[in-house]
């Protein structure tokens, strides 16, 4: 005799890459509702006019994201790296041959394609944008959620927020064990302290000067810069140093570019930036602190008798912090749908 299981009702909190992948994995065996605080999906993945202001690179060893890109019929291309690099101090600009780095690749059309194509496959997931979750409460055999709009009841809940943000913005009833709270507080949100800017030009003048676009600076507002050209756009992207006055940022960047490229810059036709430190649905105040090396990520966390799950890139032991880690963390949910 066939046994009929009642499909579980699952809530996913957060529509970044891990939340989207979780929904994709669970939607065939569970009723899935996904809550996203922002008015868009993607979380830290953010592309404006085809230019990536969040992540852009994937690396050859990252088989999960490469498989996902393949399965979504997307294409990648190699990060441009031909030519010399520049090193800027307050006195000089030196040209040098950069050491060969691990080759990175980008997604054609911008990484937002990953989000759009994944979202298009979430045909049975109930997606709620602009709905912020504030409380996760264990009640009898279920979990109640309080959002900015109303209350809901689910069988199980998946939290995808960066651990520090989850601890700051979600009230857990009963509270998370103290040990888990301490672990969460000590996990920095990857890139939560970054400011990424993209400068668009009429032509890739640096390539014509035999430069790769890779620059290092101790003097200008941008500490590290790379080529960010797409199939039809010419751009450089940079990480702005944390002590820079953001009110003047465009002006400061223009002066730095003039200094770096000895006035060879063609017209700037676009300037965009995101200060991720100020993104309330990404980072907390403690994330402003600088750290020198990649943090040790990875945490096995579940609560409410195994009905409350924590995923997201910071929880991943494999490539934690990266897109690959966000996907890897979803593997922990195997078995939820039965
Ligand atoms: C500038 C920058 C550059 C980066 N570069 C790279 C790179 O080149 N390569 C790489 O692999 N990785 C890079 N990363 C890291 C990469 O972006 C992350 O690993 C990945 O996007 C994390 O996905 P996630 O789902 O774990 O978290 P998030 O994307 O942070 O998802 C969490 C989601 O939860 C939502 N949310 C928050 N609070 C609530 C709430 N209370 N209720 C409901 N929803 C809520 C958020 O809006 C968000 O959508 C970069 C990140 C940044 C910011």
Q: What is the mean pLDDT of residues 297-323?
A: 93
The three-state (H, E, C) secondary structure of 174-193, written as one string: CCCCHHHHHHHHCCCCCCCC
> What is the tens place of the pLDDT at every residue in 313-337?
999 999 999 999 999 999 999 888 7
Find out whether the beta carbon of 192 lies less than 6 Å from any atom of ligand 1: no
Q: What is the mean pLDDT of residues 182-193?
A: 95
Find out whether the beta carbon of 44 lies less than 6 Å from any atom of ligand 1: yes
Q: How far is the C-alpha of 287 from the C-alpha of 277, rounded, in Å?
A: 7
Query: Which residue owns the Cα nearest ligand 1 atom 1?
Result: 54
Do 268 and 207 belong to one domain? yes
140: left (phi over 0), alpha (psi -120 to 50) or beta: left
> Quick check: 171 and 246 in contact, CB under 8 A?
no
Give the closest residue to 206 by CA, choosing from 80, 56, 55: 80
Q: Give the residue with greater pLDDT, 148 vs 290.
A: 148
Q: Is residue 60 part of a domain?
A: no
Q: Is residue 95 part of a domain?
A: yes
Query: Is it the case that residue 180 has pLDDT exceeding 80?
Result: yes
Q: Is residue 285 part of a domain?
A: no
Do 118 and 182 belong to one domain? yes
**Residue 42, pLDDT score:** 98
Find out whether the beta carbon of 164 lies less than 6 Å from any atom of ligand 1: no
Domain span at 119: 8-49+114-188+291-333
Least confident of 63-67, 265-269, 304-308: 265-269
Q: How far is the C-alpha of 177 from the C-alpha of 182, rounded, in Å?
A: 9
The rounded radius of gyration (Å) of the Cα atoms in the chain is 22
Do 318 and 241 belong to one domain? no
> What is the tens place of the pLDDT at every residue in 98-131?
877 778 999 998 999 999 999 999 999 999 999 9
Find out whether the beta carbon of 313 lies less than 6 Å from any atom of ligand 1: yes
What separation in Å is there between the alpha carbon of 99 and the centre of ligand 1? 29
What separation in Å is there between the alpha carbon of 55 and the centre of ligand 1? 9
Q: What is the mean pLDDT of residues 62-90?
A: 96
- Give the CA distances from residue 287 to residues 87, 182, 191, 276, 283, in Å, rounded to whole numbers and listed in that order: 28, 15, 8, 10, 6
Length of the chain (residues): 338
- The model's confidence at residue 184, banded by pLDDT at 50, 70 and 90, is very high
Do 101 and 119 belong to one domain? no
Q: Is residue 138 part of a domain?
A: yes
Do 272 and 207 belong to one domain? yes
> How many independent structural domains does the chain possess?
2
Query: Is it the case that residue 3 has pLDDT exceeding 80?
Result: no
Find out whether the beta carbon of 59 lies less than 6 Å from any atom of ligand 1: no
Cβ neighbours for 288, distance < 8 A, ≥ 6 positions apart: 193, 242, 277
Do 197 and 310 belong to one domain? no
**Residue 292, pLDDT score:** 74
């Amino acid at each position: 005799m066939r046994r009929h299981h009642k499909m579980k009702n699952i809530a996913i909190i957060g529509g970044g890459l891990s939340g989207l992948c979780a929904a994709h994995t669970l939607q065939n065996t569970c009723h899935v509702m996904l809550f996203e605080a922002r008015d868009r999906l993607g979380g830290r993945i953010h592309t404006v006019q085809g230019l990536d202001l969040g992540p852009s690179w994937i690396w050859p060893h990252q088989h999960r994201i490469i498989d996902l890109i393949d399965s979504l019929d997307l294409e990648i291309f190699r990060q441009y790296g031909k030519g010399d690099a520049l090193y800027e101090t307050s006195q000089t600009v030196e040209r040098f041959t950069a050491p060969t780095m691990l080759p990175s690749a980008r997604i054609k059309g911008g990484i937002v394609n990953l989000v759009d194509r994944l979202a298009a496959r979430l045909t049975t997931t109930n997606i709620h944008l602009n709905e912020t979750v504030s409380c996760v409460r264990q009640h009898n055999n279920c979990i109640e959620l309080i959002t900015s709009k109303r209350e809901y009841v689910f069988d199980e809940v998946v939290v995808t927020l960066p651990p520090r943000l989850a601890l700051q913005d979600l009230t857990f009833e009963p509270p998370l064990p103290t040990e888990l709270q301490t672990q969460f507080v000590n996990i920095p949100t990857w890139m939560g302290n970054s400011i990424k800017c993209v400068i668009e030009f009429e032509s890739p003048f640096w390539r014509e000067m035999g430069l790769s676009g890779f620059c290092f600076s101790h003097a200008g507002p941008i500490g590290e810069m790379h080529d960010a050209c797409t199939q039809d756009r010419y751009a450089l992207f940079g990480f702005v140093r944390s002590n820079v006055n953001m009110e003047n940022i465009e002006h400061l960047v223009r002066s730095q570019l003039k200094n770096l490229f000895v006035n060879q810059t063609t017209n700037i036709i676009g300037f965009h930036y995101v200060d991720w430190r100020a993104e309330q649905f990404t980072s907390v105040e403690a994330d402003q602190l600088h750290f020198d090396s990649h943090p040790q990520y990875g945490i096995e966390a579940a609560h409410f008798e195994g009905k409350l799950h924590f995923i997201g890139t910071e929880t991943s032991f494999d490539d934690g912090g990266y897109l690959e880690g966000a996907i890897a963390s979803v593997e922990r949910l195997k078995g939820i749908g039965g």
